[in-house]
Amino acid sequence: MLNTLNHIIEILAEAPTEFWLLTITILSLCVGSFLNVVIYRIPKILEYQWHEECREICNINSNINSENNVNNIQKISLSKPDSSCPNCNHKIKFYENIPVLSYIFLGGKCSQCKQKISLRYPFVELLTAALSLLCIYYFGVSSKGFASVVFIWFLIALTFIDFDTQLLPDNLTFPLLWLGLIVNLQNTFVPISDAVIGAIVGYLSLWLVFWIFKLLTGKEGMGYGDFKLLSALGAWLGWQMILPIILMSSLVGAVVGISLIVMSKLGKDVPIPFGPYLAGGGVLALFFGDTILQIWLY
């Protein structure tokens, strides 16, 4: 099956460069719009699932309702209910949901209540398009190029979810890990043996750091989602990139964390998500991995 897919990609690669640039731009803008939905809704879906599990464990009657009942959490999915304005519940029309363009035409406001729409929505769309184009430019119209685009899409979703909720959901980190192993069955980025070892080393390295820190301080320094994300990065990029990713993400995370504490006068105990910095390290390793390893080894 992978051979067939590679053959199809080889045929598609014969199309003009302009065609692919336009196609990837439009596709990635639409995916960026969908990622906005993923970023907002997956934590809500998890919240509902946890709520239902608590009901079952505590044997709470799901029919008991009251205005102030904190257990009244709406069930949602990635497709339902339809997107709406959080301020006035105006259902967003299809022509109000065109990536970037709708934001510009609406002046960054809801068409009904004129409440401001977060600038992050078009930012995620543009970021997805820019990084997707960079992947195709860097790796070409190839299995490696398309695989790297999917890799980037996952990391964008995980980055913003972690920023918002300090969660790295299993229903994103596990598929990312398995996709990395599948992609490397044909040595797309690294040999499959390096990918498997990378997944193992990625998880165990942060797991060990977690327990050493906890034994020394009595506190949990990071979440289990960070272990799984680094495991997924190892499955994609190989065990050789684990240490450089940890060092790059730790350095950037430390600088940003100290800056936030100084600028906003946050307490030292305020948790700062580490997933976005791991994702950033993964992106740098994707594009500059060979250069990083050369500097590291020599």
| 7-41 pLDDT tens trace | 666 666 666 777 888 889 999 999 999 999 999 99
In this prediction the pTM is: 0.87
Tell whether the model's pLDDT for residue 167 goes beyond 60: yes
Most confident among 89-98, 190-199, 205-214, 218-227 (mean pLDDT): 190-199
Q: What is the pLDDT of residue 10?
A: 63
CA 264 to chain centre: 26
Distance of CA 23 to the CA centre of its chain: 22
d(CA 171, CA 185): 22
Sequence-distant (6+) residues with CB within 8 A of 274 are 162, 222, 223, 226, 249, 253
Distance between CA atoms of 143 and 189, rounded to whole angstroms? 10
Distance CA 68, CA 47 (A): 17
Calpha distance 203→290 (Å, rounded): 22
